[in-house]
Amino acid sequence: MLSRHFFQEDLAFVPNHRLRYLGLSVACLGIAFILGIIGLYLMPESVTHWTKQKFGLMSWLENVHLGPVFDNDLFIFNWVLHPYFGAIYFMQARMAGYKFFTGVLFTALVSTFFWEYGLEAFVEVPSIQDLICTPTLGPLVGEIFYHTSQRLQQPSKMPKFFVGCALFFLDFIGFSIQKLGFAKACGICNKNAIYQENTPKC
């Protein structure tokens, strides 16, 4: 007779392969970046301050050469969305199992080279505010997100729907990886999980 072991979904996710989890996060971030740049490109120019007629490789080269400069973006972009997405970048390293300062380095690399001097530079000159606030404020917000997500994933009486929505807000990349089967498909398991005796481990 099998002992009473079971898979506990409420336990905090700790991947058994840190680098593999982080690589999967980077792939998901790349997809999110492409979708994000398309969404921003479709927004009115009065909001993004992007010139849609000027888009492409030559535009990227020119923008990289001209930058960085102080931008005139709306407050919500510079001081709300950039710190929030910096926190999302930071969460990928922390959820993979890396320490705080590794998360800070990861955030700086992603925000600077993947986004500011990467995709966004196709349509906009790199921004001084974004280069500063994303890798600095992002990890500070991200560390709060990280500890909050760890607490939410412990057994509690809170409604599952509320917990799920909160976890999605705190780390929509990690939520997708863990809850939609991407981790399992890549052979990544939760080390905190308890399996039935006849369930093979990754």
Secondary structure (H, E, C), 77-120: HHHHHHHHHHHHHHHHHHHHCCCHHHHHHHHHHHHHHHHHHHHH
What letter does residue 2 receive in the DSSP assignment? -
- The CB-side HSE value for 185 (13 A sphere, CA atoms) comes to 8
* Alpha-carbon gap, residue 35 to 119, rounded angstroms: 11
Confidence of residue 52 (pLDDT cuts 50, 70, 90): low
pLDDT of 200 > 60? The answer is: no
Task: Please state the domain extents for the chain.
Answer: 18-153
Rounded to whole angstroms, the maximal C-alpha distance in the chain is 70
Q: What is the pLDDT of residues 122-146, one digit of tens each?
A: 888 999 999 999 999 999 999 999 9
pLDDT of 57 > 90? The answer is: no
H helix count then E strand count, the chain: 10, 0
Confidence of residue 10 (pLDDT cuts 50, 70, 90): low
Q: What is the pTM of this model?
A: 0.85
DSSP secondary structure string for all residues of 137-181: HHHHHHHHHHHHHHHHTS--SS-HHHHHHHHHHH-HHHHHHHHSS
Confidence of residue 197 (pLDDT cuts 50, 70, 90): very low
* Alpha-carbon gap, residue 191 to 201, rounded angstroms: 10
Q: In whole angstroms, how far apart are CA 28 and each of 10, 21, 24, 75, 89?
A: 23, 11, 6, 27, 11
pLDDT at residue number 195: 52
